[in-house]
Amino acid sequence: MKHLKITAIALALSLSGAAQASTITLETFTTAGWQSAAQGGIFEDFENATAANRGFADNKAFVDPVNSAVYGELNAAGYNSRVGNFTTLGGVGTGTTCTDLLDANGGGCSQIALQYDPGINGQGNAYPETGEWSLNSADTEGMLWTAEREDGGMFQRLVFALTDPADTGDKSLEISVNGTTETWKSLSNGATWLAVINLDAPTNAVAVEIRTSLRDGFTLDGAALAPVPLPASVLFLLGGLGMMAVFRRRNAQTA
């Protein structure tokens, strides 16, 4: 019993010691990388949007002539999903992504948009590979993701794909959460990136800012909320606890 108590204390210390400041990473997107990072979580790929998810600015939108897909600039309520709500960070976009693809009511884009491929300027769907939908910043200053699971459950990792951010001149991409900010500049034109945020503790809600410059549109796709996998050291301790429990049962049976 004493050995079991000591091991349990060590496990608790290991779990508490694993906590640290939130981390934000950006790497080249691959489907396998996204699936690994989002493992065990829930996600939104924007492929099955309905009126419950979105409304359009001034109730005006584009309609694809082939399959009647409805897309364009959203209203101020943004996009509601199973992983939370997406809205703009402000500003009025007047770049070609907005004016040539998403602005159905004229006057520039003051909100984010639901995009249906094919897009322009290298922006569009990232996940799944066969998908056709994504959220576009519409040349505004970026997106605010108020992240929460639809079932109110806890999560500690946020995963999402970004396509074509910070690809011109001195434009930059900033991702911020819980007082932690990471910045990238001069990213490749049209490239898709995998962003992974590991929070310092589990939560049921958190706000993430994904900020770029006006006229620097990007798309977001494959937004996931997931647990953080346990460190190998913790898994080792858990295995040790399991083995000790087996030995204790065997000893009790032979006593």
Q: Above 60 in pLDDT, residue 232? A: no
Tell me what pLDDT residue 239 has.
52
Q: What is the pLDDT of residues 172-183, one digit of tens each?
A: 999 999 999 999
- pLDDT above 70 covers a percentage of the chain that reads 82
Confidence of residue 20 (pLDDT cuts 50, 70, 90): low
Q: Which residues contact 219 (CB under 8 A, 6 or more apart)?
A: 115, 119, 123, 124, 125, 126, 134, 135, 136, 137, 162, 163, 164
Q: What is the mean pLDDT of the chain?
A: 88
Q: What is the DSSP string of 90-123?
A: S--B-SHHIIIII-SSSS-BSS-EEEESS-STT-
- Distance, in Å, from the CA atom of 140 to the CA atom of 219, rounded to the nearest integer, reads 12
Residue 181 inside a domain? The answer is yes
Residue 4 inside a domain? The answer is no
Confidence of residue 230 (pLDDT cuts 50, 70, 90): low
Tell me what pLDDT residue 78 has.
99
Tell me what pLDDT residue 234 has.
40
Confidence of residue 168 (pLDDT cuts 50, 70, 90): confident
Confidence of residue 15 (pLDDT cuts 50, 70, 90): very low
Tell me what pLDDT residue 170 has.
85
Q: Is 60 helix (H, G, I), strand (E, B) or coil?
A: coil
Residue 1 inside a domain? The answer is no
Kindly report the pTM of this predicted structure: 0.84
Torsion (CA) 47, 48, 52, 56 in degrees, nearest 10: 50
Cβ–Cβ under 8 Å, residues 219 and 124: yes
Residue 253 inside a domain? The answer is no
Q: What is the pLDDT of residues 129-156, one digit of tens each?
A: 999 999 999 999 999 999 999 999 999 9
Residue 142 inside a domain? The answer is yes
Q: Above 80 in pLDDT, residue 82? A: yes
Q: Which residues of 161-199 are buried (b: 16+ CB within 10 A; e: fewer)?
A: bbbbbbbeeebbbbbbbbeeebebeebeeeebbbbbbbb
Residue 5 inside a domain? The answer is no
Residue 214 inside a domain? The answer is yes
Average pLDDT over residues 184-206: 97
What is the distance between the terminal CA atoms of the chain, rounded to a whole angstrom?
15
Q: Above 90 in pLDDT, residue 244? A: no
Q: Is 24 helix (H, G, I), strand (E, B) or coil?
A: strand
Q: Above 50 in pLDDT, residue 208? A: yes
Q: Which residues contact 96 (CB under 8 A, 6 or more apart)?
A: 120, 121
Residue 255 inside a domain? The answer is no
Q: Above 70 in pLDDT, residue 63? A: yes
Q: Above 80 in pLDDT, residue 250? A: no
Q: Quick one: DSSP state of residue 56?
A: E
Amino acid at 140: T
Total number of domains constituting the chain? 1
Q: What is the pLDDT of residues 86-130, one digit of tens each?
A: 999 999 999 999 999 999 999 999 999 999 999 899 999 999 999
Chain-centroid distance, C-alpha 139: 19
Q: Is 249 helix (H, G, I), strand (E, B) or coil?
A: helix
Tell me what pLDDT residue 169 has.
77
Q: Both tokens of residue 32? A: 């396998």
Domain that residue 212 falls in: 19-230
Dihedral sign for Cα atoms in the order 213, 217, 223, 229: negative
Average pLDDT over residues 156-167: 98
Q: What is the DSSP string of 209-232?
A: EEE--TT---EEEEEEEEPPPPPH
Average pLDDT over residues 13-35: 77
Tell me what pLDDT residue 154 has.
98
Return the number of other C-beta atoms located less than 10 Å from residue 203's C-beta: 14
Confidence of residue 13 (pLDDT cuts 50, 70, 90): very low
